[in-house]
Amino acid sequence: MPTIIRPEAIRLGVAHILKIHIADYQRQYPLWPQHRKIVYDMLNCRTEYLGGQIDRCDQCGALRIAYHSCRNRHCPTCQHMPRERWLEQRKREILSTRCFHVVFTLPHTWDQKLGAHFHLHCLVAGGAVSPDGSRWIPCKGNYLFNTRALSVMFRGKFMDRMKKACQSQALNLADHDFNQLKARLYERPWIVDVRDPVHNPEPVLEYLARYTYRVAIANSRIKTLKDGMATFTHKNRKRERTEVLTITAVEFIRRFLLHSLPKRFVRIRRYGFLANRYRSANLAAIRRLMALPEPSGSPVASVEGLLRLLTGIDITVCPRCQKGKMYLFQKIPKGVARPPNPLTYAAA
């Protein structure tokens, strides 16, 4: 009999909490179609229900079973490879100039307790092309914009867009309610944080990659699930320490789904000379103005190549004999097995 290498058992994480307590959640809250799709994908992620493949070693004959991931952008286990691929592509667009990390924040308190917190991270190049396109003009020193003026402008622009959304009925909010909300929002300072520029934007890119491709909570922060209570860690910024919070599993699911993104919402956007339509031409022109060479080589595209680059592990090598090469032996079709959770997801 050949050795069979099976996938690792599912560890404690968001999917595990969903599997055990999603029925409890549904008894208290409606599961909206968008949330239903997230739950459905995460419960089936890397299970036989989504299908997969069986690889076989050409030397010792060992079989390795690998199930497909759900690829849902809210799934904590499916963001690593897209994040690294995005990071490799963005590194090819780096220019030799100062970059500013700017954070726009609505007037809410930020923490890691899965509360609602809406904010925007921007990586802004410290310079621009002259109006006639003949030279690159760098910013002066470490100054980009006046933070106070930018905060006031940010609040004014946001509230103006909000007012127009109410007038066009894109936002269902009566005039009286809007005026009350406006007064409350103007009572608080709107924060724009323009951080000191960096000459090497790669660390900021890596931070943004981790930030934008992570979901509401990483599985590593979830510590226990017992008697319907979920315990996870969070950072206390004021006391500069890591603390532990325990809430009901139902409340955990509610807070997790609170962070779901609207359908077709674009999470990462590019503007200016990095706008999609003319990005390649703009970058080539700016590199000529700055006398910079074109990036050499090509970004790593394959999963095998990325894993080898990141971990030094070659997944094409047999994990049993360490000599043979793994090749596709058989595909596992999707939907042959039953979903791992008995809940009704026929409409998902």
Q: Where are the domains of the chain?
A: 4-74+303-332, 80-289
Nearest to 103 by CA among 190, 187, 192, 171: 192
How far is the C-alpha of 53 from the C-alpha of 281, rounded, in Å?
41
How far is the C-alpha of 288 from the C-alpha of 286, rounded, in Å?
5
For 143-163, write each residue's pLDDT tens digit: 888 888 999 999 999 999 999
Residue 235: the pLDDT is: 86
Residue 323: the pLDDT is: 92
Residue 198: the pLDDT is: 79
CB 35 within 8 A of CB 259: no
Which residues touch 213 (CB under 8 Å, ≥6 apart)? Answer: 79, 80, 82, 83, 86
**Structure tokens given for 233:** 């860690």
Residue 339: the pLDDT is: 63
CB 74 within 8 A of CB 15: no
Strand partners, 103: 121, 193
Global confidence as pTM? 0.81
How far is the C-alpha of 276 from the C-alpha of 254, rounded, in Å?
36
How far is the C-alpha of 246 from the C-alpha of 225, rounded, in Å?
9
Residue 9: the pLDDT is: 67
Cα-based distances in Å from 200 to 98, 120, 126, 197, 260: 7, 21, 12, 9, 32
Residues in the chain with pLDDT values less than 70: 1, 9-10, 107, 109-111, 297-301, 338-348
